[in-house]
């Protein structure tokens, strides 16, 4: 069957999305459901997770919610076992869960550093490690890891966040090479300034004067749905010859 077959992009596929109650996570879950995926959505916030599941269920999509601390190997094993029991397969893993800490080198505390690394970097590795047996069994699977434009260029701040997102970028590439002939593609998405709850207060305060928006050639923040569309492309069969790449969604911010 052609990878460019008509119809819903993820029809028949099972997709697991972490950090699914965040701005990009919600948009990705909504889009994947519309495109035919059966979903496992996870987050550390059980209440927000239940609301997301209830909202998507009414559309007729098959969806399962599971609380997940991505920095816990035990939690990951439980979620993958739940996926195996409920769906018997896994075709797409989207590692979206992440946290940010804004201080630079001298003002970052060790506790903050270790927490950001645990969630953003270790959590991405643990997700791939736990999910790979099911993904390999699919024979045609995709992993989408979430890095950032701050995993590509420096900002002079957010030391822990930048370190973690740079690590996700290269972790993605080495996984892509490792699994290139084993039925699993692995790519990273690099959002720029996106109007999500994580940065909304800053956007509300500074608006179009926010420095990164001023430096963005398109002179605006992106919206979560624009990142979700990139996730969908990498998750679907239309990107069947794409692995180890960086898909940047930043309005041209890193084009200078």
CA distance 144 to 193: 19
Our CA angle for 178, 183, 186, nearest 5°, is 55
For this structure, is 256 an active site residue?
Answer: no
Rounded to 10°, the helix 23-34/224-235 angle is 50
| DSSP, residue by residue, 117-167 | IIIIIIHHHHHHHHHHHHHHHHSSEEEEEE--GGGTS--SS-HHHHHHHHH
Beta-carbon contacts of 209 under 8 Å, excluding residues fewer than 6 positions away, are: none
CA-closest candidate to residue 28, choices 253, 190, 232: 232
Rounded to 10°, the helix 23-34/46-57 angle is 30
Most distant CA atoms of the chain, gap in Å: 55
Of the listed 56, 161, 168, 171, which one is catalytic?
Answer: 161
CA distance 70 to 77: 10
Beta-carbon contacts of 95 under 8 Å, excluding residues fewer than 6 positions away, are: 18, 19, 70, 123, 124, 127, 128, 143, 144, 145, 146, 168
Q: Length of the chain, please?
A: 256
Of the CA atoms within 13 Å of residue 173, those in its CB half-sphere come to: 10
For the annotated catalytic residues, the residue numbers are: 161
């Amino acid at each position: 069957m052609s990878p460019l077959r008509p119809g819903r992009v993820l029809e028949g596929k099972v997709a697991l999305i972490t950090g699914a109650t965040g701005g990009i996570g919600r948009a990705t879950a909504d889009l994947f459901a519309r495109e035919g995926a059966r979903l496992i959505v996870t987050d550390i916030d059980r209440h927000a997770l239940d609301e997301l599941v209830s909202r998507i269920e009414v559309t007729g999509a098959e969806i399962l919610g599971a609380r997940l601390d991505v920095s816990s190997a035990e939690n990951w094993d439980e979620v993958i076992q739940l996926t195996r029991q409920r769906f018997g397969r896994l075709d797409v893993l989207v590692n979206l869960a992440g946290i940010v800490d804004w201080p630079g080198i001298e003002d970052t505390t060790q506790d903050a550093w270790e927490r950001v690394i645990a969630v953003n970097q270790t959590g991405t590795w643990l997700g791939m490690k736990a999910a790979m047996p099911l993904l390999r069994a699919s024979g045609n699977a995709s992993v989408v890891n979430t890095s950032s434009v701050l995993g590509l260029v420096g900002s002079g701040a957010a030391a822990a966040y930048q370190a973690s997102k740079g690590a996700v970028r290269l972790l993605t590439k080495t996984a892509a090479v490792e699994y290139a002939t084993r039925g699993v593609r692995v790519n990273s998405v690099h959002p720029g300034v996106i109007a999500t709850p994580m940065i909304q207060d800053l956007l509300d305060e500074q608006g179009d004067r926010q420095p990164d928006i001023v430096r963005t050639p398109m002179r605006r923040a992106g919206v979560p749905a624009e990142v979700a569309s990139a996730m969908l492309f990498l998750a679907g069969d239309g990107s069947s010859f794409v692995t180890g790449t960086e898909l940047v969604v930043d309005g041209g911010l890193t084009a200078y």
